[in-house]
Amino acid sequence: MKIAVIHGQQHKGSTYNITKLFLNKLAGENREIVEFFMPRDTPPSCVGCCNCFMKGELKCPHAEIVQPVVRAIEEADLVILDSPCYVLGMTGQLKTFLDHMGYRWMPHRPHPQMFRKIGLAVSTAAGAGAKKVTKELRRHFFYWGIPKSFSYAKNIRATNWEMVPAKKKARIEKEVTRLAAKILKRQGKVKPGMKTKAIFKLMGLMQKSNDWNPADREHWVKNGWLSGKNPW
């Protein structure tokens, strides 16, 4: 199984350690893990040129930084996004990267391989907000076309991993083990549900009358999605 991990933070705190637990539990003989750390791998803020949407992703002024991460996501079977909760949202550096993935949303040019992948969103907060973050991250998975995503959100009542009591760490490990087993069970077997199919169909109708963005329309035509083919 190929796993791409986009860490929303660079430091190795609670969020990183929980993701690491997942990676250990998901470990198999054939696993291949690629990890990116934000902000080390974060592109500069989006400049709003819309080149990615209108002229193609390679015309983004940050393409050289963005594309290696995008390729790793496209090649993976499982995509993991993690982030500590910062003021009830994901970290700014992760959001900055995700802004650069806008062209891969279903209304634009979703990658055909996305419709076979699994996503996992991980977040921790001190008191409140971890669930808000995983919900936000799963929305990205959904609009990328990923049909099945899981989340692990934990309000850990601590500001770093060392502060988390051993008993709580043991409970976290148990929960992670259970969820990792679920993920492994679904691997290679995911299919888009009604909601993905409905949004995809709606986007197809929009693309049929699209005379404002040739880059998007060509993508849909090239993949045969305007003549009855589906990416799943």
Ligand X SMILES: Cc1cc2nc3c(=O)[nH]c(=O)nc-3n(C[C@H](O)[C@H](O)[C@H](O)COP(=O)(O)O)c2cc1C
Q: Which residues make up the interface to ligand X (CB under 6 A)?
A: 9, 13-16, 84-88, 124-129, 156, 159-161
Phi/psi for 132 (5° steps) reads -60, -40
Q: Smallest gap, in angstroms, from Cβ of residue 87 to ligand X?
A: 5
Kindly tell me which of 70 and 120 has the beta carbon lying closer to ligand X: 120
Kindly tell me which of 45 and 159 has the beta carbon lying closer to ligand X: 159
Tokens found for residue 143: 């609009």
Q: Which residue is nearest to ligand X (CB)?
A: 13
Kindly tell me which of 124 and 196 has the beta carbon lying closer to ligand X: 124
Q: Which residues contact 194 (CB under 8 A, 6 or more apart)?
A: none
C-alpha of 157 from chain center: 26
Q: Smallest gap, in angstroms, from Cβ of residue 69 to ligand X?
A: 20
Question: How are strands ordered across the β-sheet holding 118-125?
Answer: 32-37, 2-7, 78-84, 118-125, 148-155
Q: Smallest gap, in angstroms, from Cβ of residue 156 to ligand X?
A: 5
Q: Smallest gap, in angstroms, from Cβ of residue 32 to ligand X?
A: 24
Backbone torsion region of residue 145, taken as left when φ is above 0, otherwise alpha when ψ lies between -120 and 50, otherwise beta: left
Kindly tell me which of 56 and 89 has the beta carbon lying closer to ligand X: 89
Q: Smallest gap, in angstroms, from Cβ of residue 134 to ligand X?
A: 13
In this structure, the strands spanning 32-37 and 78-84 are unpaired
Computed on alpha carbons and rounded to an integer, the radius of gyration of the chain in Å comes to 18
Kindly tell me which of 61 and 89 has the beta carbon lying closer to ligand X: 89
Q: Which residues contact 11 (CB under 8 A, 6 or more apart)?
A: none
